[in-house]
Structure 1
């Protein structure tokens, strides 16, 4: 909490948004309310609408406090692309998909009249995400291709690649698994110097392999993602994907797959070796390979409260 308050005091909106995204689950309701109220003042002062969207979303989802009407009123007063785009995204985040699409369509008409190609590409991609959520995969791919074409015209190579990765994932969601794998494989050589995109590709592969119940391959992809994500904003996302796979393995009582792979993660990330040793110990205990006392000792070596919570979470998977 102190780190977030310090970033607010320093008026570092980008850092505040990053810290909120990664640390919000660590705050109790009173702490969260205090932080969000202070961050809200900063976002309004700086007119950082992306940060404001995040704050309104957390008020809504975590505290049950509705500030949507305030955002709508501000969007009407400001009447800029940025504020209306963030409001449309907020509608998407809280599940108001039709309202989101309606606002995006209005924005698309405005930006097309102005000839703002960069904004048009952003709108097409945002609309594609909504159609993906609605499982309208063909429409989602169509919109992604429109966004991709504009980004190519503008010379935004990284955005072109990012959209292509997501398009491959939507193909997988639509049932075209092998076509998706082939597309992702073709993108790999193009992103070897871009760790964030490498992480996205490996996490896409992970979901494909997990869907096929090929957990050995899914864990391998989690490892690649974690290694490339180290020290970046993607680290928590990659770690969350690993936890999802482990949770599924514990649910299926596939303890052997867990304990056979934990040394791999411990060797790749020695700073988390105690955690992975504890995961291994829990799996060995549940498989009847070691006694509870031995597993308990491994868990006791983990000091980080957040990691201890995750171990408890895994330990209760079959309950």
Structure 2
């Protein structure tokens, strides 16, 4: 909490947003309330509407405090693209998908009249994410292609590539698994110096292999993603993906798959070795290979409360 408060005091909005995203689950209600109130003031002072959106979202989702009407009033009064775009995204985050689409359509019309092509590309992509959420994959792919093409025409290759990688994932969601694999493979040589994009590609492959119940390959992709994500904003995302795969394996009683792979993770990520050893011990116990005392000893070495919570969840997994 102290690190977040320091970032707020320094008025480092980007750092505040990053810390909130990664640390919000570890704050108690009173701590969270204090942090969000201070963050809200900072966001308004700096006109950082993305940070303000994040604050309103956490108030809504974690504390049950509704500040949506305040955001809506601000958007109506300021009437700028930035405010309205973030409000539309907030609607998406809280599940008001049709309301979000309606606002994006109005924004698209406004920005088309103004000829603001970069804003148009942002709107295309944002709308595509909603159609993806609605499982309207054909429409999502159509909008992603428009966003990608617009970014290319503007010379914004990084943005175009990021959209293209997600388009490959949506291609998989639409049922075109082998085409999606081919698309993702084609991007790999282009992003070898980009850890963030490599993480996205490896996690997309992980989802594909998990869907095929090829858990050996899925775990391998999780490992690649974790290594590339180390020390970046994507670290939590990569770890969450691994946690989901482990949860699925425990649910399906695939204990051998778990304990055979944990040494691989422990050696690649020695700072988390105690956690992976505990997961291994837990899987061995579930498979009848070791006694409960061995699991207890392994878990006692793990100090991070979040990792202990995950071990507890895995231990309770059952069909």
Provide the TM-score with structure 2 as the length reference.
0.99
User: Residue 170 of structure 1 aligns with which residue?
Assistant: 170
Per the alignment, residue 183 of structure 1 pairs with: 183
Match of 2:127 in 1: 127
Shift in Å at residue 252 of structure 1? Answer: 0.6
Corresponding residue for 2:96? Answer: 96
The alpha-carbon deviation at position 308 of structure 1 amounts to 1.1
User: How far apart, in 1, do the equivalents of 2:158 and 2:38 lie?
Assistant: 34
Following superposition, the deviation at residue 98 of structure 1 comes to 1.1
Distance 1:88 1:170 in 2: 22
The alpha carbon displacement at 1:53 in A equals: 0.3
Secondary structure of 1:65's counterpart equals: coil
Q: Alpha-carbon deviation of 1:117?
A: 0.9
Secondary structure of 2:124's partner? helix
Shift, 1:159, TM fit:
1.1
Aligned length: 319
Question: 1:138 maps to what in 2?
Answer: 138
Q: Could you tell me how far 1:6 is from its partner in structure 2?
A: 1.1
Write out per-residue CA displacement over residues 66-109 of structure 1, whole angstroms, 9 at most, x where no aligned residue: 10000000011111110100000000001111111111111111
Query: How far is 1:3 from its partner?
Result: 1.0
| Normalised TM-score (structure 1) | 0.99
Write the deviation string for residues 263-292 of structure 1: whole angstroms up to 9, x where unpaired: 000010011111101110100111111111
Q: How does 1:63-74 map to 2 (within 5 A)?
A: 63-74=63-74
- 1:146: how far off? 0.5
Cα offset, 1:245, TM superposition? 0.1
Distance in 2 (alpha carbons) for counterparts of 1:272 and 1:133: 33
Counterparts of 2:230 and 2:20 in 1: how far apart (Å)? 19
Shift of 1:295: 1.1
Is residue 308 from structure 1 mapped to residue 308 from structure 2 by the alignment? yes
Q: Offset of 1:242 from its aligned partner?
A: 0.1
Match of 2:53 in 1: 53
Partner of 1:192: 192
Q: Secondary structure at the match of 2:192?
A: coil
Aligned to 1:257: 257
Q: What are the Cα deviations for residues 218-250 of structure 1, in whole angstroms up to 9, with x where unaligned? A: 000000000111100000000000000000000
Moved >6 Å (runs of 4+): none
CA RMSD in angstroms, aligned pairs only: 0.8
Structure 2, unaligned stretches of length 5 or more? Answer: none
Per-residue CA deviations over 1:283-305 (Å, capped at 9, x if unaligned) read 01111111111111111111111
Name the CA distance, whole Å, in 2 between partners of 1:136 and 1:318: 32
Look up the match of 1:80: 80
Distance across 1 between alignment mates of 2:244 and 2:97:
26
